[in-house]
Structure 1
Amino acid sequence: MIPSGGVHLDDARAPEGMRIYAIGDVHGCADLLEAMYSKIDGEIARDKPQDWRIIHIGDYGDRGPDTKRALDLIIARSSDRRVLSLMGNHDEAWLNFLADPHPVGLFVTHGGDTTAHSYGVEANFGDAQGRKQARDALLAAMPQAHLDFLRGLPRSFSFGDYYFCHAGIRPGLALGIQDREDLIWIRREFLTIEGLHPKIIVHGHTPSAEAEMLPNRINVDTGAVKTGVMSAVVLEGITKRIIDVRQQTA
């Protein structure tokens, strides 16, 4: 039974006949993303689920070494409509920088230089002229498909008893009227709530040493760019399990 007032993880179900893979924050870790795709492909080929979805939870660039290749991989996969992608706060910040290279924007202060480098642009964010030159060079270097991808990212998806967003939700507010910025930025007000939500919230945004499966939410961000571990949750029927891939060491 679903407890009064919300859905408990133990009772949550994916849509009948559908397997869902929700992949944590990428942050330019193209090699890990490629390995995750390989693992997912192997499972789908082996198990032949009736239907499936792959959901990227957001934050595709910044900090990691190969944002361009990560977007190439995701966009190529997205030719299949069963592969879906969400907006993260770093993705919004990237678009904001392209519109206005502000000195204290998240892109400037938290790893946008590595994103630019992956497109062959050496960014100098130290002064207004350098930021404008970096913005102009990055706009010229980015394929139109990458710009279209970022500009078209939605803030949430919902399947069965699960609600997918990058950061979390504002507790007590109906899912249909959540604030756009909360969906990609919220932390404390969401993470500290132990009560149940209308659906299980599947999110990233806040790195954890291990993927978290709690009564009211699932966190799939295991800080790939720092830990070398990218995680995903697999949802099918009433089952929930975590898979991961790890950076190869010499």
Structure 2
Amino acid sequence: MTETSIHYLDARAPDGMRLYAIGDVHGRLDLLAAMHRRIESELEYKPTADWRIIHLGDYVDRGPDSKGVIDFLIAAQKRDPRNVMLAGNHDIGFLDFLDTPDPDGLFMRYGGVQTAQSYGVDLTGDASWFGKAEAVRRGHQALVSAVPQAHVDFLRSLQLSLISGDFFFCHAGIRPGVPLESQSPQDLVWIRDVFHNHPGLYPKVIVHGHTPVPEAEVMPNRVNVDTLAWQSGMLSALAVDGADKRILTVQGKAF
């Protein structure tokens, strides 16, 4: 271990602050609400001087209620700004689609149809009659009208990373060898193999989602809490209190 690196076992939250980091939600409002109830119960029955609930991105696509998830997160942030939301690649993809309706982009290929449905919009249309591109264009116009400006503002406000104590939080991961403050936005929301396969320690323990795993993955240099909630019915979170670290899960219906 070098002087500027930290091992998971040694990593600590800031003094007096409990951290919670929640993995990819993907439209599963039921699981997000259940996780918040569990965390709120902990905070009530085992109080702490301060806390942060950090959401690691990918709030939309694939699951049934992306609109409800965004409504929930906006309300949570208004209620207490210690609810922190980071951007995932799917959240950025939603904004990109609202700006430019690419029929072959991330949004249309990976669950955007379900996101649109949660706003009462059918993006598929009668593609056999209009053609796919025209069906998407018509659906796009309806979706732009259906998405509240508050949702667009929320998505645009999402930060890409957060440092707290010995932890660095982001959606996907970091590029090894690049200082944390110099990481590219693309890597923070998209990176996979070169980050996952890096054997060395980082200046902070990286807490992320983005790449689904059957159960939360705890490594010496990183923690992955994306447990494919939209399909598996299991949403996971990392809880850190001083040097104490735990994985929390809530269960719901699998699809």
| TM-score, scaled relative to structure 1 | 0.96
Take 1:147 and 1:124, find their aligned partners in 2: how far apart are those partners? 22
Which amino acid in structure 1 is aligned with residue 95 of structure 2? L
- In structure 2, the residue matched to 1:174 is 179
Which amino acid in structure 2 is aligned with residue 216 of structure 1? N
- Deviation (angstroms), 1:139: 1.3
Which amino acid in structure 2 is aligned with residue 173 of structure 1? V
Q: 1:135 is matched with which residue: 113, 135, 140?
A: 140
- In structure 1, the residue matched to 2:87 is 87
- In structure 1, the residue matched to 2:16 is 17
Which amino acid in structure 2 is aligned with residue 199 of structure 1? K
Take 2:93 and 2:165, find their aligned partners in 1: how far apart are those partners? 30
- In structure 2, the residue matched to 1:184 is 189
Take 2:150 and 2:212, find their aligned partners in 1: how far apart are those partners? 29
Take 2:4 and 2:17, find their aligned partners in 1: how far apart are those partners? 26
Moved more, 136-145 or 114-123: 136-145
Alignment of 1:63-74 (within 5 A): 63-74=62-73
Take 2:253 and 2:213, find their aligned partners in 1: how far apart are those partners? 20
Take 1:145 and 1:242, find their aligned partners in 2: how far apart are those partners? 32
- 1:224 and 2:229 are equivalent in the alignment: yes
- In structure 2, the residue matched to 1:33 is 32
Q: 2:163 is matched with which residue: 158, 165, 170?
A: 158
- Deviation (angstroms), 1:130: 1.5
Q: Look up the SS of the partner of 2:185 in the other structure.
A: coil
Whether the aligned pair in 2 keeps the contact of 1:6 and 1:197 (CA below 8 Å) is yes
Whether the aligned pair in 2 keeps the contact of 1:167 and 1:185 (CA below 8 Å) is yes
- In structure 1, the residue matched to 2:205 is 200
Structure 1 residues not aligned, in runs of 5+: none
Take 2:45 and 2:102, find their aligned partners in 1: how far apart are those partners? 49
Take 2:66 and 2:194, find their aligned partners in 1: how far apart are those partners? 30
Alignment of 1:227-238 (within 5 A): 227-238=232-243
Which amino acid in structure 2 is aligned with residue 60 of structure 1? Y
- In structure 2, the residue matched to 1:44 is 43
Q: Look up the SS of the partner of 2:176 in the other structure.
A: coil
- 1:55 and 2:59 are equivalent in the alignment: no
Take 1:155 and 1:5, find their aligned partners in 2: how far apart are those partners? 22
- In structure 2, the residue matched to 1:124 is 124
- Count of residue pairs brought into register by the alignment: 248
Cα distance per residue 1:52-71 (max 9 Å; x no partner)? 00000000011000111111
Whether the aligned pair in 2 keeps the contact of 1:5 and 1:196 (CA below 8 Å) is no
| Runs of 4+ off more than 4 Å | none
What is the aligned-residue identity percentage?
Answer: 52
Take 2:87 and 2:253, find their aligned partners in 1: how far apart are those partners? 28
Whether the aligned pair in 1 keeps the contact of 2:27 and 2:62 (CA below 8 Å) is yes
Cα distance per residue 1:180-219 (max 9 Å; x no partner)? 1000000001000110001000000001111011100011
- Deviation (angstroms), 1:128: 2.1
Whether the aligned pair in 1 keeps the contact of 2:232 and 2:253 (CA below 8 Å) is no
Q: Look up the SS of the partner of 2:124 in the other structure.
A: coil
Take 1:136 and 1:189, find their aligned partners in 2: how far apart are those partners? 39
CA RMSD of aligned residues (A): 1.2
